[in-house]
A and B are shown apart, each in its own frame.
Chain A
């Protein structure tokens, strides 16, 4: 008695699922099929082919670079605020003295290998001397190229 009362609902549920189960799979497949044939739903980017038109947003944080005018002059005063702001010591500001005895920028060494592209250095610079550029293809096979000197001229500012 006990068995038959739980047995009949079980069979009913089983038969019901035999119908609803395949139907639900077909519903799912209809979505797949819709995405398969509808050209508006293609999202794949043809990456190496569309390189010419591919542009990053202006805020994109790529590689650090120094803002320089046409003659290669920059605004850096070698104050070292960016060096202090960097969480992983990716910047070394090597200062030197000019003829007048004033502290000026000697070399601005940037270790791209350890930079996390957080942008804290740009935020910390009180003179607006550095920015992040929009490079995104930065992979290289030569690790030595990752250590760079950003300023072209010495002794500015």
Chain B
């Protein structure tokens, strides 16, 4: 039997039924991009899963070696396109450490607000795709409807809906327009209302409950061992959020909770994300109350040149821990190397642990609750 196994498969199993192998992807609507999952099946039950990456590998880390730091900020948009604005901040914080530059208070507030808007947008896409993958196409439209409002705000502030390229060392590219705060306020009021509807729509739905409770359980130990982060880790009962554990920007001055659940199944990953939308809205409301109208929105502009050294930053994006490691071998505009630690890769690595023994239709649910973005894995 061993000799016949395709490369990557390890588990030996004594059965008297015939096992077979199928491919899911790379072109499959529920793999959220070009991801290929090779499945070893026993009937309809998954015995083992081997993910194959690299269909959209663009060599971003190699590209970064021939780019200036500013150009890399623009490139970081293209990693996880759902949280582009958060990736920008991750890179910029690492650069700020190198340039030893402070950030004025107003700029910090702009940053935090855009971060949280981006987080809500990403979680709404999760909500939409989760419902969509379970067969409720209505849900797909609902999630995107509110996300569109966030993107309108982002478009007005940054000039682009998705690839924002907005933050710069010492602040951001522009000041926010006067309409920004009223628009965010209007969005939050609208969102309060809509979230009630959405939770009513999906959270207690019997089909969702039956298909997600007890499915794809990731134990606390496994989640830590695989290096999961973000909502996936918190759904397994680990209270770890970079905003709390290692605060960046001004997150330590806000009052918010880190939602944690303990079962580690698909439904818990869903509830954690829904709770995070509410926490983000709480942070946004605090920002609106305290938003400084006066003051500079950018530190004095300096050319982006980093002295020789190694600089590291980590932030919490909607998907999890996003870390940037910049190595500057010569003082100048160009990095020697920039390494990115993206959150989705460990989640896909842990997928094999979660799906074993489940049916193939459960794999779709599990994959949806991991909320992976494939361009971020492949980079």
Contacts and interface: CB of A to CB of B under 8 A. Distances in A.
A61 B197 CA distance: 35
Contact of A60 (B155, B165, B197, B206): B155
Contacts of B145: 43
A120 interface: yes
Contact of B74 (A25, A32, A116): A116
A146 B367 CA distance: 40
A27 B204 contact: yes
B206 A24 contact: yes
A61 B198 CA distance: 33
A17 B204 CA distance: 12
A83 B145 CA distance: 39
A138 interface: no
A32 B140 CA distance: 12
A21 interface: yes
Prevailing SS type, chain B contact patch: helix
A57 B205 CA distance: 40
B205 A25 contact: yes
A35 B155 CA distance: 26
Given A20-B206, A87-B74, A116 B159 contact: no
B71 A132 contact: no
Contact of A32 (B138, B156, B206): B138
B190 to A, nearest CB: 10
A59 interface: yes
B148 interface: yes
B74 A59 contact: no
A87 to B, nearest CB: 4
Contacts of A25: 205-207
Contacts of A85: 68, 70-71
Nearest to B149: A43
A17 B213 CA distance: 14
Given A116-B74, A120-B70, A61 B200 contact: no
Interface in B156-177: 156-160, 163, 165, 173-174, 177
Interface in A92-122: 116-120
A87 B138 CA distance: 40
Given A21-B206, A32-B138, A123 B173 contact: yes
A20 B197 CA distance: 18
B75 interface: yes
Contacts of A118: 74, 163, 165
B197 A117 contact: no
A51 interface: no
A31 interface: yes
B50 interface: no
B202 interface: yes
- Size bracket, chain A contacts: 20 to 34
A43 B74 contact: no
Interface string B123-162: 0000000000000001000100100100000011111100
B159 A132 contact: yes
Contacts of B156: 57, 59
Interface string A41-85: 001000000000000110111000000000000000000000001
B165 to A, nearest CB: 5
Given A24-B205, A28-B205, A119 B75 contact: no
B9 interface: no
Nearest to A22: B206
Contacts of A24: 204-206, 209
B169 to A, nearest CB: 13
A34 interface: yes
B254 interface: no
B205 A120 contact: no
Nearest to B160: A61
Given A20-B206, A28-B205, A119-B165, A57 B200 contact: no
Contacts of B205: 24-25, 27-28
Q: 3 closest pairs, A vs B, by CB?
A: A21-B206, A59-B159, A87-B71
Interface of B: 67-68, 70-71, 74-75, 138, 142, 145, 148, 155-160, 163, 165, 173-174, 177, 197-198, 200-202, 204-207, 209
Given A24-B204, A59-B177, 14 more contacts: A22-B206, A25-B207, A27-B200, A27-B205, A32-B201, A43-B148, A57-B156, A59-B174, A61-B160, A85-B70, A87-B75, A117-B163, A120-B71, A123-B173
